[in-house]
A = this chain, B = another copy of it.
Amino acid sequence: MSAGWFRRRFLPGEPLPAPRPPGPRASPVPYRRPRFLRGSSSSPGAADASRRPDSRPVRSPARGRTLPWNAGYAEIINAEKSEFNEDQAACGKLCIRRCEFGAEEEWLTLCPEEFLTGHYWALFDGHGGPAAAILAANTLHSCLRRQLEAVVEGLVATQPPMHLNGRCICPSDPQFVEEKGIRAEDLVIGALESAFQECDEVIGRELEASGQVGGCTALVAVSLQGKLYVANAGDSRAILVRRDEIRPLSFEFTPETERQRIQQLAFVYPELLAGEFTRLEFPRRLKGDDLGQKVLFRDHHMSGWSYKRVEKSDLKYPLIHGQGRQARLLGTLAVSRGLGDHQLRVLDTNIQLKPFLLSVPQVTVLDVGQLELQEDDVVVMATDGLWDVLSNEQVAWLVRSFLPGNQEDPHRFLKLAQMLIHSTQGKEDSPTEEGQVSYDDVSVFVIPLHSQGQESSGH
């Protein structure tokens, strides 16, 4: 996986960029101390708070090469775990156009002017090479815009109409069963879910066509109509930090957190394990000596533990093995949701991982309009490299220590993001426990909420 703090701006109506071949699959390289690649700064039209005077050419997260398609700028840190940077990020304005319908009830015009405007931030943490993460950073915002444009009529209604074109055909009969009350935010959640799936399909096609492999996690925040939507598929994390509150806005999807779903799938489709793995969970891998003994185990329907007598089939490699950072699905993958991985197989076998992976995100909604916002209320989004060494409380402590004393600094949110990344590198003033250093790449967005009400800005 890889590291970067990285910004990109999308122009209104910008077409889906042609996917850029991300180069050959990275082969893992031995760990070296992080090297800080510094690009720069702010794109025209980006938030004042992060605007910097210099405007040097953007450096790509992939070993500092210039991104030909990039309309934005990057601030990069790379742990050099792999040859190419596997963390990718994107942010920008989300410009949603309105469709007009003709007599045939088909789209006639896509009005060129913006109809609804939102903001979009995304982090993608790649594995097996940067290809999927780069494709996702190039693609997902366009998928989302298309999905939102397809339901925009419902988004701006008090309540999304049962029929898309607003025609009230055969209304519900309240005496029988009343029509369910769907909210506009349900359509945004649906659009995010569909966009992730569409993007996953695009990645699958593009990687197959170019003979490449890989996958990535995806964490997306969208500010739209006074609400912040956080969609997560993977092990990145977003939290809200306020003066008196720390609120998780996402939940990690790993082989451990999705154990029951994964075991359930293997129960329904045992052929997915090809007789090579055991579906059951044990406190450790069983050995020959355990045969015939009664040992602790869990199956798909169990939250608690029980004992069973060990049979020969229980000695197979476990479907989910290890715990915490070491937990692996089929001995291979540390996450259970994300994009890509269509070709991923267990080493030296034909056993596919994709059937166990979900591309659909979990979406949480923060009603920003309902919060009594303070100047220093922020959302911190970061890849797992940050959260492996800093707890939510430690990140909140850093936010609260830094922001109040720097209220005049127009770059304070940018500097806070940099400072959070530095804190994972084992510096003396770091709040991490002694010896806690992130060997993973780290990407951080700090999103100030105060400006979302007036003019949205991304950092």
Contacts and interface: CB of A to CB of B under 8 A. Distances in A.
A427 interface: no
A305 B186 contact: yes
B188 A304 contact: yes
A289 B170 CA distance: 6
Interface string A181-200: 01001111111111001000
Interface residues of A, number: 57
A323 B165 contact: no
Interface in A255-310: 268, 283-285, 287, 289-290, 293-296, 298, 301-307
Contacts of A182: 283, 296, 305
Interface in A43-73: none
Contacts of A180: 283-284, 323
B170 A306 contact: no
Contact of A294 (B163, B190, B289, B295): B163
A280 to B, nearest CB: 13
A321 interface: yes
Among A194, A197, A283, A304: residue with most chain B CB under 10 A: A304
B290 A169 contact: yes
A164 B301 CA distance: 21
Interface of A: 147, 150-151, 154, 160, 162-165, 167, 169-170, 172, 176-180, 182, 185-194, 197, 268, 283-285, 287, 289-290, 293-296, 298, 301-307, 321-323, 326, 358, 360, 362-363
10 contacts: A160-B296, A163-B295, A169-B289, A170-B287, A177-B323, A182-B296, A187-B305, A190-B302, A190-B304, A302-B360
